[in-house]
């Protein structure tokens, strides 16, 4: 088996020592190449080359941003179609601060434990097919969003010199709520079988939890998983009572959100969101830019992950 290990040395929990241990362990089981990323988009380029070279396994060691880049590289030539049998298997060893995708898969947060889990999966040729989402031309593994959600990501992105933490996200969320950087333009949501609906912010989920606040999972669409379609959670108003109600519900396990201002759907094959003017757009916690229209599509069995 041929494999490539993609390491983001800037990720929160990656260290040179941990990288060496991981590389040594993998090299005992596979023919391994190790690449450390130097710039944004580097992991995507490495994974795309690996897929074109018929590499068997690509391991991402970093945070959710690194995983997202590797996934987009692996699936770059599939034109948005399911490619579980035609692309390398993905391995993940968490090295970031949130590691939402890895945790949603049930992988250990500790890199050493995750390495042992990966080695067993390689030895037993064990993998799990997972469904993913694609937003316009960008794949995402666990969530995407337009509006307030993406404004928060943009705010955190401007503070990349600081160590990300739940406190930083909470401060940025509050600042973005009180002073939305792009205002609150209306978003028009279109889903099959329903009339268009106007909202102020929209969250798209590919699994549950939607994300984590430190050790606490944040639940928006609890019926969403890697084996179902996409979840939509959107608010028609960002009034304080409504926001606080849904925040409390989101922090409860197995919570079922209810509210007059809520637009919620599960297991969607497609969602289209149009904005009156450009709004921030994020996928997997990474700011993509500003968009006036995004189409989200669920792609079942898009990738095989070593678990």
Domain range summary for the chain, segments of one domain joined by +: 2-125, 143-299
CA dist 93 to 2, 84, 213, 259, 278, Å?
Answer: 17, 20, 20, 38, 35
Q: Please state, in angstroms and rounded to a whole number, the distance separating the CA atoms of residues 249 and 262.
A: 12
Spell out the SS3 assignment of 24-52: HHHHCCCEEEEEECCCCCHHHHHHHHHHH
* DSSP-H helix ranges across 11-146: 16-27, 42-52, 64-74, 100-104, 111-123
Residue with tokens 């490495």: 46
What is the reported pLDDT for 161?
54
Q: Which fold has domain 2-125?
A: Rossmann fold (3.40.50)
**Could you report the average pLDDT of every consecutive run of 10 residues in the chain (307 residues)?**
95 88 94 96 97 96 96 90 75 93 95 94 95 97 96 87 74 94 95 97 97 92 96 97 94 85 97 97 96 98 96
Cβ atoms 211, 100 nearer than 8 A: yes
What is the reported pLDDT for 97?
86
3-state SS, residue 231: strand
CATH class entry, domain 143-299: mainly beta
Q: Please state, in angstroms and rounded to a whole number, the distance separating the CA atoms of residues 176 and 167.
A: 14
Cα torsion 127, 133, 138, 142: sign:
negative
What is the reported pLDDT for 157?
85
Nearest residue to 145 (alpha-carbon basis) of 257, 301, 275, 246: 275
């Amino acid at each position: 088996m041929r494999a490539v290990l993609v390491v983001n040395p800037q990720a929160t929990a990656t260290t040179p020592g941990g990288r060496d241990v991981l590389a040594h362990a993998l090299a005992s089981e596979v023919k391994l190449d190790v690449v450390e990323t130097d710039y944004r988009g580097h992991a995507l380029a490495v994974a795309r080359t690996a897929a074109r070279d018929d590499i068997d396994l690509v391991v991402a060691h970093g945070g959710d941003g690194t995983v997202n880049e590797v996934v987009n590289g692996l699936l770059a030539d599939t034109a948005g179609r399911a490619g579980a049998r035609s692309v390398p298997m993905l391995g993940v060893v968490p090295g970031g601060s949130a590691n939402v995708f890895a945790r949603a898969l049930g992988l250990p947060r500790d890199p050493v434990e995750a390495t042992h889990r990966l080695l067993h999966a390689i030895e037993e040729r064990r993998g799990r097919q997972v469904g993913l989402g694609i937003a316009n031309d960008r794949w995402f593994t666990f969530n995407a969003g337009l509006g307030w959600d993406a404004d928060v990501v943009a705010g955190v992105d401007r503070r990349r010199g600081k160590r990300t933490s739940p406190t930083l996200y909470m401060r940025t969320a509050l600042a973005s709520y009180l002073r939305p950087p792009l205002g609150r333009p209306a978003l028009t949501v279109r889903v099959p079988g329903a009339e268009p609906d106007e909202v102020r912010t929209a969250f798209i989920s590919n699994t549950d939890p939607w994300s984590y606040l430190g050790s606490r999972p944040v639940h928006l669409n609890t019926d969403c998983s890697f084996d179902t379609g996409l979840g939509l959670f959107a608010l028609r108003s960002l009034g304080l009572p409504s926001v606080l109600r849904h925040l409390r519900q989101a922090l409860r396990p197995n919570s079922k959100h209810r509210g007059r201002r809520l637009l919620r759907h599960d297991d969607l094959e497609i969602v289209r969101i149009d904005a009156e003017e450009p709004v921030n757009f994020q996928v997997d916690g990474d700011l993509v830019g500003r968009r006036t229209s995004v189409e989200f599509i669920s792609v079942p069995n898009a990738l095989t992950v070593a678990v």
